[in-house]
Chains A and B, each alone.
Chain A
Amino acid sequence: MNAINRNELQALSRAVLEIDVNNHPGVMSHVIGLFSRRTYNVEGILCLPVGDGACSRIWLLVNEDQRLPQMIRQAEKLEDVIAIRRHNADHAVFSELEAFFRP
């Protein structure tokens, strides 16, 4: 991922995106590429298959900046993205993982 930039330093807070996708090689690259090619840093990524494995769920922790609504609209256009939900940064999915990320 890219180094933090000025836009992101100015970010007031973070957001959590919950993205339902078709599960096949390349989907993660499609989704993450939308962010990286706009130098929009993704702080956290979590992805696992759901149910029978035909679909996966990607959780992203991102800085909230003014480009986030446009990012969500661009992601919604991807063929393999089924749905996107936006949560606040205090969502449990990342905070419960903190134990694995102690320095």
Chain B
Amino acid sequence: MTETLTGAQIAIRLLERQGVRTVAGIPGGAILPIYDALGQSALIHHVLARHEQGAGFMAQGMARASGQPAVCLASSGPGATNLLTAIADAKLDSIPLVAITGQVPKAMIGTDAFQEVDTYGLSIPITKHNFLVTSAEELLDVIPRAFGIAASGRPGPVLVDIPKDVQTQAIEVADWPAPGARELPPAADAWAISEAAAMINGAKRPILYLGGGVVHAGASSVAVDLAEKANLPTVMTLMALGAMPVDHRLSLGMLGMHGARCTNLALDECDLLIAVGARFDDRATGKVAAFCPQARIIHIDIDAAELDKIKTAHVGIAADVHEALVRLLPLVSENDRKAWVDRTDALKRDFPQHMPDLDQPLSHFGLIRTVAACLDDEAIIATDVGQHQMWVAQGYPLRRPRQWLTSGGLGTMGFGVPAAIGAALAEPQRTVVCFTGDGSILMNIQELVTAAEENVNVKIVLMDNASLGLVHQQQTLFYGERLFASQFKATPDFVKVAQGFGIAAVDLDTAANPCAALMDAIARPGPCLIHASIDVEQKVFPMVPPGAANHEMIGN
């Protein structure tokens, strides 16, 4: 049956056919036709963010929690530029996102029209791909393709810029395209797989190095199977935390700049590094020349451009990591590898992550562990960026892929609250905890009112040291204790701020029984801010100084 539909109606129908049920955004002049069509949709729930960056991070939270591409909407000009940080963040962490922006009418493009900006040009370096749509007809091709590109290969953000006259152009639509879907890459090279298996079987001191790609590919469980079968001590990047439970007997936890001493020392001794869905990021490797100096390298990644980019692999396999691991598993022999496992156990015993004052619920690690004690593995843990993020990465018992949502590559303060809201929208049956800091939360605090409006089950744990903690730490350690612009002279009353935005708030500083107050706040459904002051002098340790080798870490 042929229907006459506008570009805006076509766009919304394509989102519906794509299975999209929640979108986040803010309307404005150049995207009003799409909002008009969206208002008529019985299937899609629109979440009205209070800043486009918040909408972008809500979509990210949905995508990170579910693994499916998520959608954010913004108008032209400032709407689009406000989205850019969230899009860049998705690019660096390989998160499937479809950002739809309104644009001034085609005839006005290039005239410095009101709220005109070159969204297409601005988004080229921070998207996986982008489109400037020039006709309503084209939407039938572009929107399914945008979802396909976002989800296929190495996932990433795709931006679709739609001029207003394209949104209002009416055309006849007879046939609908199939929804865009994830396409699998070619199978892994059989010779390389067998070569990798032979290297693992022959290795004396191998380490399995898991990156975020393992989570994206749904390969966590087969990665754990491989580790167990061959007794491979396993390190994870910040993005991969939860791929293997951090308290698994073979887990060495997070590697790199703020990894435990035992983790980085074990890497120094390994004779084979099996990198899976990891990209040898500088925060993970430290000084590259000194990273795993004795090791041969197997590198498996869906993005061929990652192979040999930082470290030359002895065997490089460009493939879906799930497919590659499934094929590798039967070729790898069982091996108790006792000497090496004993050695890494000894390192774990002698050089563990130091977590002082665990029994004090108002110490940084004590607070994190008390929150963990209130929850099971079904909860989602989001963070902002800073000291609190690293302490949670070090101290929270993450045990499940997609349990952990954090801004890794771009390190965007302001990520946490909107991402947690997005995760709660996508997975309403779960409790979502957002650890944040007083610096980070202020960067997207306006989304507290969105949390109230949507009544999402988000518990915001605010670790307040009235400073930009990681800056304070670096100035203290590496800039002669010259503290500048890292301590806030005026600080808001966050409890009142949260209440003012319409969400419950509790202050653990003044609670008669902080533990009980915390448990009560987490158990109560709906959004809540939990405020706790922490000591500004506490550092994230150990720490690899910038530019140093991982074994040169300072602090215990």
Q: Mark B99-132, 1 if CB is under 8 A from A, else 0.
A: 0000000000000000000001100110011101
Cβ–Cβ contact B125 & A74, under 8 A: no
CB distance from A31 to the nearest CB of B (A): 10
Alpha-carbon distance between A77 and B303 when the two chains are bound, in angstroms: 9
Alpha-carbon distance between A37 and B121 when the two chains are bound, in angstroms: 13
B120: chain A residues within 8 A (beta carbon)? 26
Cβ–Cβ contact A29 & B121, under 8 A: yes
Alpha-carbon distance between A33 and B121 when the two chains are bound, in angstroms: 10
A26: chain B residues within 8 A (beta carbon)? 120, 124, 130, 132
CB distance from A15 to the nearest CB of B (A): 18
Alpha-carbon distance between A61 and B248 when the two chains are bound, in angstroms: 53
CB distance from A42 to the nearest CB of B (A): 16
CB distance from A65 to the nearest CB of B (A): 15
Alpha-carbon distance between A29 and B124 when the two chains are bound, in angstroms: 8
A73 within 8 A of B: yes
Cβ–Cβ contact A73 & B129, under 8 A: no
A70 within 8 A of B: yes
A87 within 8 A of B: no
B512 within 8 A of A: no
* Chain A residue with Cβ nearest B304: A73
Q: Of A25, A33, A37, A74, which is within 8 A of B305 by CB?
A: A74
The A interface is mostly helix, strand or loop, or mixed, namely helix
Cβ–Cβ contact B305 & A70, under 8 A: yes
Cβ–Cβ contact A70 & B125, under 8 A: no
CB distance from B444 to the nearest CB of A (A): 27
B309 within 8 A of A: yes
* Chain A residue with Cβ nearest B154: A77
Which positions 282-331 of chain B face chain A at CB distance < 8 Å? 303-305, 308-309
A86 within 8 A of B: no
A90 within 8 A of B: no
CB distance from A69 to the nearest CB of B (A): 8
B149 within 8 A of A: yes
Q: Mark B124-165, 1 if CB is under 8 A from A, else 0.
A: 110011101000000000000000010000000000000000
Cβ–Cβ contact B124 & A25, under 8 A: no
Cβ–Cβ contact A77 & B305, under 8 A: yes
Cβ–Cβ contact A30 & B124, under 8 A: yes
Cβ–Cβ contact A33 & B124, under 8 A: yes
A79 within 8 A of B: yes
Q: Of A29, A74, A76, A79, which is within 8 A of B129 by CB?
A: A79
* Chain B residue with Cβ nearest A70: B309
CB distance from A20 to the nearest CB of B (A): 17
Alpha-carbon distance between A97 and B211 when the two chains are bound, in angstroms: 48
* Chain B residue with Cβ nearest A71: B305
B305: chain A residues within 8 A (beta carbon)? 70, 73-74, 76-77
B132: chain A residues within 8 A (beta carbon)? 25-26
* Interface residue tally for chain B (C-beta within 8 Å): 14
Alpha-carbon distance between A70 and B309 when the two chains are bound, in angstroms: 7
Cβ–Cβ contact A33 & B125, under 8 A: yes
A30: chain B residues within 8 A (beta carbon)? 124
Q: Mark A17-52, 1 if CB is under 8 A from B, else 0.
A: 000000001100110010001000000000000000
Q: Mark A74-99, 1 if CB is under 8 A from B, else 0.
A: 10111100000000000000000000
A74: chain B residues within 8 A (beta carbon)? 305
* Chain B residue with Cβ nearest A37: B125
CB distance from B101 to the nearest CB of A (A): 15
Alpha-carbon distance between A74 and B306 when the two chains are bound, in angstroms: 9
Alpha-carbon distance between A55 and B262 when the two chains are bound, in angstroms: 54
Alpha-carbon distance between A51 and B59 when the two chains are bound, in angstroms: 42
Alpha-carbon distance between A1 and B304 when the two chains are bound, in angstroms: 27
Alpha-carbon distance between A75 and B172 when the two chains are bound, in angstroms: 37
Alpha-carbon distance between A76 and B154 when the two chains are bound, in angstroms: 14
CB distance from A72 to the nearest CB of B (A): 9
Alpha-carbon distance between A69 and B130 when the two chains are bound, in angstroms: 24
Alpha-carbon distance between A29 and B304 when the two chains are bound, in angstroms: 22
Alpha-carbon distance between A70 and B124 when the two chains are bound, in angstroms: 19
Alpha-carbon distance between A94 and B231 when the two chains are bound, in angstroms: 57
Alpha-carbon distance between A30 and B132 when the two chains are bound, in angstroms: 13
Alpha-carbon distance between A79 and B183 when the two chains are bound, in angstroms: 14
CB distance from B144 to the nearest CB of A (A): 14
B129: chain A residues within 8 A (beta carbon)? 78-79
CB distance from A85 to the nearest CB of B (A): 17
Could you list 26 A-B pairs, sorted by A, with CB under 8 Å?
A25-B132, A26-B120, A26-B124, A26-B130, A26-B132, A29-B121, A29-B124, A30-B124, A33-B124, A33-B125, A37-B125, A69-B308, A70-B305, A70-B308, A70-B309, A73-B304, A74-B305, A76-B304, A76-B305, A77-B303, A77-B304, A77-B305, A78-B129, A79-B128, A79-B129, A79-B149
What 7 additional pairs, Cβ within 8 angstroms, besides A26-B132, A77-B303, A77-B304?
A25-B132, A29-B124, A70-B305, A76-B305, A77-B305, A78-B129, A79-B128
Closest 5 CB pairs of A and B: A73-B305, A79-B129, A74-B305, A33-B124, A37-B125
